Chain A
């Protein structure tokens, strides 16, 4: 069965810290995505990657960076965490072919104090 695993369900960090969110998929998918989900704003795409070492900015990349050194792993990095980055973060993956659905992890609820 399809599996996308996010390293933490809940995370609390302090303002200014560098924060790493990890995502691993076991489906050999080419595409991987990071979203944040906020009440009233739906899902907003932060970054995505369509191949190892490749990345593209989504709709709200400011304050974030990503790393994809291996096909199965996609990391989201908050360079200097701020309180407005408190949110639910969702990772997803999909095959490269046209019209393929995305498969999601259970999310990481991140609080920045």
Chain B
């Protein structure tokens, strides 16, 4: 079945460092891909998405490119801030069968120090 694998955390960075959180997937056909963010004490928020190969999703300085050849959707940010400290989830919706359900990665915790 469909699955999402993302790098384990926690990731600890200094402010203004470059961030990469790896995400790879297994799915039939061409899924849609998402990154969600969960700030402390809150629910999840959609950060960005991409629905077809080579699409780049971007929001709040974060970017991720849908790479069909490597089945990846890595999250990047050029210069992180303390306020980016959160848990980041990669997810997909498959094209086959029931496409209402998101398939989730386990989440990667990011801590940014001043």
Contact = CB atoms under 8 A, between A and B. Distances in A.
Interface stretch (B15-23, B67-75, B77-85, B101-109): B101-109
A104 B89 contact: no
Given A103-B46, A105-B43, A107-B43, A98 B99 contact: yes
A99 B32 contact: yes
Task: Report, as a range, how many residues of chain A touch the other chain.
Answer: 20 to 34
Nearest to B31: A99
A101 B41 CA distance: 21
Contact of A104 (B45, B101, B107): B45
A43 interface: yes
A90 B51 CA distance: 25
Given A101-B46, A106-B42, A42 B89 contact: yes
B46 A45 contact: no
A101 B34 contact: yes
A103 B45 CA distance: 7
Contacts of A107: 42-43
A34 interface: no
B101 A48 contact: yes
A101 B49 contact: yes
A72 to B, nearest CB: 17
Contacts of B49: 99, 101
Nearest to A105: B43
B11 to A, nearest CB: 16
Nearest to B43: A104
Interface of B: 32, 34, 41-46, 49, 51, 89, 93, 95, 99-102, 104-107
14 contacts: A4-B43, A33-B101, A41-B106, A42-B104, A48-B101, A58-B101, A90-B43, A90-B44, A98-B93, A102-B44, A102-B102, A106-B41, A106-B42, A106-B43
